[in-house]
A and B are shown apart, each in its own frame.
Chain A
């Protein structure tokens, strides 16, 4: 997937990946895609849950080994 911005959230735990995602998304334009890489296993469920809370579009969450990659399109 082509991301407009990449955010590295490896090495940090809940709630910081979600907080960083929120802050990063504020700097993007509507329609931009943010790719987030995290290694907190909870992030796989937390990202779609957060998107459903905020109305942002979760384009998918993928597991690559120990890493989780999530894609969000800014509303």
Chain B
């Protein structure tokens, strides 16, 4: 093992991977969850911190709109939804559709499958409270898979002990 795992506590520490999922695009979310599931299967503790557009990946419904939101928040949640675009070649939603068909045909796991697998392997989900506040998102708007609602300090406390930290 070449990974520097650190030795702050006496217990045998598992290697750890943390990721900040900032992007709300299908391809980047797939990359994030591919790494998360592989690391978790390889005995890593894995934490994903969802912030800004990354929250779209864990929205319960397409339009996370409610009466408690102001007009800007409603507008953002109508324009930025859980129907994730591709970061390239989106073509008004045709790109993701083609990509999903292609992945199904070739036997690659869908994002939904990867998220489900990640949860089965105990990958921890943290949602950023600041982003939630700005966008007017509450617990009711986000997936029940979210373990914690927290801020930057919580993420950094997790990242401090991790050997791999990625920003996607």
Contacts and interface: CB of A to CB of B under 8 A. Distances in A.
Contact of B42 (A12, A16, A23, A50): A50
Given A19-B117, A19-B121, A14 B42 contact: no
Interface residues of A, number: 15
B117 A54 contact: no
Contacts, number: 44
Interface string A1-34: 0000000000111111011011100000000000
B108 interface: yes
A54 to B, nearest CB: 5
Given A15-B41, A19-B37, A52-B1, 14 more contacts: A11-B107, A12-B107, A12-B109, A15-B37, A15-B38, A16-B113, A18-B38, A18-B41, A18-B42, A19-B38, A50-B38, A53-B1, A53-B15, A53-B44
